[in-house]
Each structure stands twice: as C-alpha cells, then as structure tokens.
Structure 1
Amino acid sequence: MMNLEEMRKLDAAGLQNELNALLKAHMGLRMQKATQQLQNTSQLTKVRRDIARIRTLIRQNTMQES
C-alpha cells in the first residue's frame, strides 16, 4: 500500500497500473470473504479507500490538464 505522497508522485500510467493492481486485490479479497477464508476483513475497507484515492488523483490530474 502506498501513502498519498507517493501516489501524487506517480504519472497517469503509474496511477492506472496501481489502480488495476488494487482492483485485482479487491476482487481477490471479495472472493476470500465469500468463501469465508478472509481473516482480516478490514483489508477490504483499506483497499476500497486506496482505490477511491487513486481515482480522485486521476480525476484531479485530468481536470488540471484541461
């Protein structure tokens, strides 16, 4: 997991790669929860918040460019 300062240093391609990785991780955690294999359910919340942060940064970058 990256902190916000590290996320802000990434370019658009880096943010997109990180977003894709987090979406895959979120899917895996959801599958673990569905099969009752997930021990730490707070991971779902952390991943969802990181996804929202990256999407916000992507949106901010596109707004600054136009």
Structure 2
Amino acid sequence: EFVEWKMMGEGTYVVGVEPGNCTAEGREKLRKEGTLEFLKPGEKKEFELEIGVLSGKEAIDRFKAEVKAI
C-alpha cells in the first residue's frame, strides 16, 4: 500500500508518498477485515519502487496496457 499525504500549511507545502501497512481508510477497517499486517520485532520486509515520468497520452496509454496485462 502507498499512502499520499499533504501538508498545506502556508509556506510549508509538502507532499509525501510513502509505503504503509494500511490504506487511507485506516487500520481499524483492515483489522475488521483481518488484513492488517504487522512485522515482528527485527523482522524485515523489502519492497522495490520505480518512479518515472510518462510524457504524453501515448506513453500513458502504453503504460496502462502494460499494467492491465499483469
């Protein structure tokens, strides 16, 4: 899960995109669904993230097609 957060305070505009163990709907909802994950002390979980820029409608459409094919 990735969480996007924003700080819109005057003069302190910040946006963050961070990995998380819950959606924006919150941990309580995931607890009820039984899908909230926890790491044990010392346990690690690795992720890879690739960030890029898609320029133009054609590039965006190609990327969407690639994602749908997964």
- With structure 1 as the length reference, what TM-score do the two structures score? 0.27
- Which is strand-richer, 1 or 2? 2
Larger radius of gyration: 2
Which gives a bigger RCO, structure 1 or 2 (Cα 8 Å, sep 6+)?
1
- With structure 2 as the length reference, what TM-score do the two structures score? 0.26
